[in-house]
Structure 1
Amino acid sequence: MKKNVLLYVLLVFLIVVNGLFLFNYLGNSDDTENKDRSKGPISFIVKELDFNDEQMLQLEKINRKHHHRMMRIGDDIKQLKDALFNKLSDVSFNENSIDSITTLIGKRVKEQDIEAFYHFKDIQELCNDQQKEKFKSIINDALHKRGRKEQRPHLRNGEGERRLPPPRH
């Protein structure tokens, strides 16, 4: 009888602990997502430009459309890259098919860049004249910071040069 009581107490304890864990795990996921969103680039832009409620509503619509377009293009790129790298296991493959797949990937990346440009253009359209100047400054700062990161040399051969194999033709 004492063994059964001990098992029941242990069972109740485990149920309570699991319930608390699930509550904390599932209950805090919304807070975590909101914190992550508040740290994103759009919230930074909103904060810096001091958007009003009407601008915020329009920005949310613009952002939603942009996100869906970028996800679609990103999915296309992923599928194309999967197709490209699936050819690694082929015993014989056609150079033209590799070239055409990489050309399609390049076109999709171009679409991403165009989409990003028009997204920022749409955000700029929401701004008043004072906000437009601030927005221009934010974009220029972001572009210059990004450019500096990309210009750092990659040390591959000890001399600061990055050596890549020559392209096959």
Structure 2
Amino acid sequence: MNFFTQNKTATIIIAMLIALNVLSIYFFVIHKRIVHKHPFDDQNPPWHEKSKEGKSSEKVHFMEKELGLNKEQRQEYRNLRKSHFEMSRKKRKEQQELREMIFSNISNQSFNIDSVAQLISKRQSEMEIGMFKHFKSIRELCTEEQKLKFDKTTQFILRKMGDHDRFKRSEH
């Protein structure tokens, strides 16, 4: 007789451990992909539409299309958008550098995190103000009819961006 027929308790325990391992693999690998799938995983959000050629430099901007901007409005919109993204990129980079400073000083007993945290908060505040001013500038480009569309579209975009950001944070 072999070990498994003589020791039924050990056989049951080993079978349960194998079953638990299979379930663990399922929940940590397969199930996670299914449950945490974001609605925009298969397709980009509508404000990230690309041209027919798929080139990012020739993106068809959702706001341009949605609002029906004329040629002059489109050019001004693109200028505003470019400067806004440059400012945002710069502020995010500054925030990242400050975060890196915090963690590079984790072993430093005399390091004052409060001052650096305030600087990070200041950059975030500047980004929020910058976003508000950016949207306000775009709205000022619009005709009265376009402003009505803009107001609805902006609320939609901000809601979807918030959903997307929450999803990203929950993955980590």
Q: In angstroms, what is the RMSD of aligned CA positions?
A: 2.9
Distance 1:68 1:104, change over 3 A: same
How many residue pairs were aligned? Answer: 119
Distance, in Å, in 2 between the alignment partners of 1:106 and 1:83 is: 15
Distance, in Å, in 1 between the alignment partners of 2:163 and 2:125 is: 22
What amino acid is aligned across from residue 110 of structure 2 in structure 1? N
Structure 2 partner of 1:53 = 71
Distance, in Å, in 2 between the alignment partners of 1:73 and 1:48 is: 29
Question: 1:84 aligned to 2:102?
Answer: yes
Structure 2 partner of 1:32 = 55
Structure 2 partner of 1:93 = 109
Deviations 1:67-109 (A, max 9, x none): 2211221221111111011112x2x4236x1111111101100
Structure 2 partner of 1:73 = 91
Find 1:136's aligned residue among 151, 166, 169.
151
Distance, in Å, in 1 between the alignment partners of 2:69 and 2:101 is: 43
What amino acid is aligned across from residue 33 of structure 1 in structure 2? S
Structure 2 partner of 1:16 = none
Q: TM-score scaled to structure 1, two decimals? A: 0.60
Structure 2 partner of 1:14 = none
Structure 2 partner of 1:11 = none
Distance 1:71 1:144, change over 3 A: closer
Distance, in Å, in 2 between the alignment partners of 1:126 and 1:82 is: 39
Distance, in Å, in 2 between the alignment partners of 1:94 and 1:109 is: 26
Distance, in Å, in 2 between the alignment partners of 1:77 and 1:137 is: 31
Distance 1:31 1:77, change over 3 A: same
What amino acid is aligned across from residue 118 of structure 1 in structure 2? K
Deviations 1:103-153 (A, max 9, x none): 1101100101110110000000000001000000011223334555649xx
Identity of aligned residues (%): 30
Structure 2 partner of 1:111 = 126
- The gaps in structure 2 that reach 5 residues or longer are 1-52
- The gaps in structure 1 that reach 5 residues or longer are 1-29, 155-169
Distance, in Å, in 1 between the alignment partners of 2:75 and 2:161 is: 29
